[in-house]
Structures are given as structure tokens and as C-alpha cells.
A = this chain, B = another copy of it.
């Protein structure tokens, strides 16, 4: 029992915590680009120029480091994304308001993927955690995905008269599904360059596609099939 055992040691030493921060930075980059399982503690500590045991000392385990990587960014990301949605939600209902909400959301989701490496890493990290979870469920879904999806749900309801909450939730799933797939495509595309439409085209398409889809979801969707499931079959 040497270390603080995944407890912040709240040290006062000047150089204390430098290794800790370096580990978090390096781990964030590696986890984002390779995933949790494919990133070894040895590689992290080598890139961070510190000892192998530092991970276990500061974070208790590899998983503890992974959780702390997320925890460090949780509030910032959630607040930023919620702010974007709230910014969109203040728009008074009217023609084009739905498109504006969708465009803001899609951009805030996709944009970090193209430019600098900071937000990009974070988005890739989130995407990986969505597909292959290692965090306790209440941490990721409860702290990030949940509030964001709920906020988008409300924004959709506000800008689309007649849209029920249940239908809006389904629409949110449809929208995030498209965005996650696009993010995956971008990630793989950066690894091995392949053909594909530029991102601005894709975002524009998703906005237009989804706006129509949302508007078509008003009405008695959940239970029956008002406009009719196809006649045959």
C-alpha cells in the first residue's frame, strides 16, 4: 500500500502531479487512437517518460486511469454540448428553426473530428466508449450521453409542433446513429484514405434528411401505424 490508490493525493509538492498529468494526457491520446484494450500500460508510461508502476500508483489500475481520463473531461464536454443545444433551443419556433437546431447539434458533434487534435481525441474516445463500454454505465450514459440526448429531445419538441416526447426520443436515436456512423467513417478515413463526400456535404445531408424525418414523426407514431406499414408482408 504505497500510493493513494486511485485517490487524488492533493499534494503540495511542486513537481508532484506532473507525472500524473502527463499520464492523463498521453493516455487520452492513446486510448482515443487505439482503444482501451489495444493500449498497453507500458506504451502509456513509455510515451509519458515515466515508470511503469506510476499508473498503478496514481490510478490504482489501468481501468482507473481510463476512468480518470473521462472524468477529467466530463464536465467540460457536457457543458459545452449542452450550451450548444441550449443556444439552439432559445431559437423561437418557426420555419427553419428545426434545421438550425439540427445543424448546430451535428456540427458540434462532427466539427471536433476534423480540425485540431484536442476535441478530436475526445470525440473518438466517446465513440469508442459508446461501441465498447468499459466505464460504469451510470458514468457515461448518466453524465454525458443522457443529458445531451434529453436536451436534444426537448429542443426537437420545442421546434416541432405536435411532436411527442416518445417520437422525439426515437428521432434523437436516428440522428445520433447517423452522426456516430459518420464519425466512425472519418476515423477510419484518416487511417486509410479512401473516397467519400466531404464532411460539409454529409452534415448538410444529415440536417436535411433528419429535419424531414422529424417532421414526419409528428402524429400517432408510437403504437399504431397511422400512415400504414406497407400493405403486403
List the interface of chain A (C-beta within 8 A of B).
37-38, 96, 99-100, 103-104, 107, 131-133, 137, 166-167, 170-171, 173-174, 176-182, 184-185, 188, 192, 197, 201-202, 204-217, 221-223, 225, 227-233
Q: List 12 additional A-B contacts (Cβ < 8 Å) besides A100-B230, A177-B182, A212-B213.
A: A103-B230, A103-B233, A173-B182, A174-B206, A177-B177, A177-B181, A178-B178, A181-B181, A201-B223, A208-B213, A210-B213, A212-B216
- A109 and B203 alpha carbons, distance in the complex (Å): 25
Given contacts A99-B230, A233-B103, contact A205 B167 (CB under 8 A): yes
Given contacts A204-B221, A212-B215, A216-B211, contact A170 B197 (CB under 8 A): yes
The reply to whether A227 and B201 form a contact with Cβ atoms under 8 Å apart is no
Given contacts A99-B228, A202-B170, A209-B170, contact A233 B177 (CB under 8 A): no
The reply to whether B209 and A222 form a contact with Cβ atoms under 8 Å apart is no
The reply to whether B208 and A227 form a contact with Cβ atoms under 8 Å apart is yes
The reply to whether A171 and B209 form a contact with Cβ atoms under 8 Å apart is yes
Q: How far is the CB of A44 from chain B (nearest CB, A)?
A: 18
Q: How far is the CB of A213 from chain B (nearest CB, A)?
A: 4
Can you identify 11 A-B contacts, CB atoms within 8 angstroms? A104-B233, A131-B132, A170-B197, A171-B205, A173-B178, A173-B181, A173-B185, A174-B210, A177-B181, A212-B215, A212-B217
Q: How far is the CB of A79 from chain B (nearest CB, A)?
A: 20
- A211 and B216 alpha carbons, distance in the complex (Å): 9
Q: Looking across the interface, which residue of chain B has its beta carbon closest to that of A192? A: B137
The reply to whether B103 and A174 form a contact with Cβ atoms under 8 Å apart is no
- A181 surroundings in chain B (CB, below 8 A): 173, 176-177, 180-181
Q: How far is the CB of A118 from chain B (nearest CB, A)?
A: 21
Q: How far is the CB of A9 from chain B (nearest CB, A)?
A: 34
Give which listed residue, B182, B197, B217, contacts A208 with CB less than 8 A: B217
Nearest 9 A/B pairs, CB to CB: A212-B216, A177-B181, A209-B213, A100-B230, A212-B212, A177-B178, A170-B205, A213-B213, A177-B177
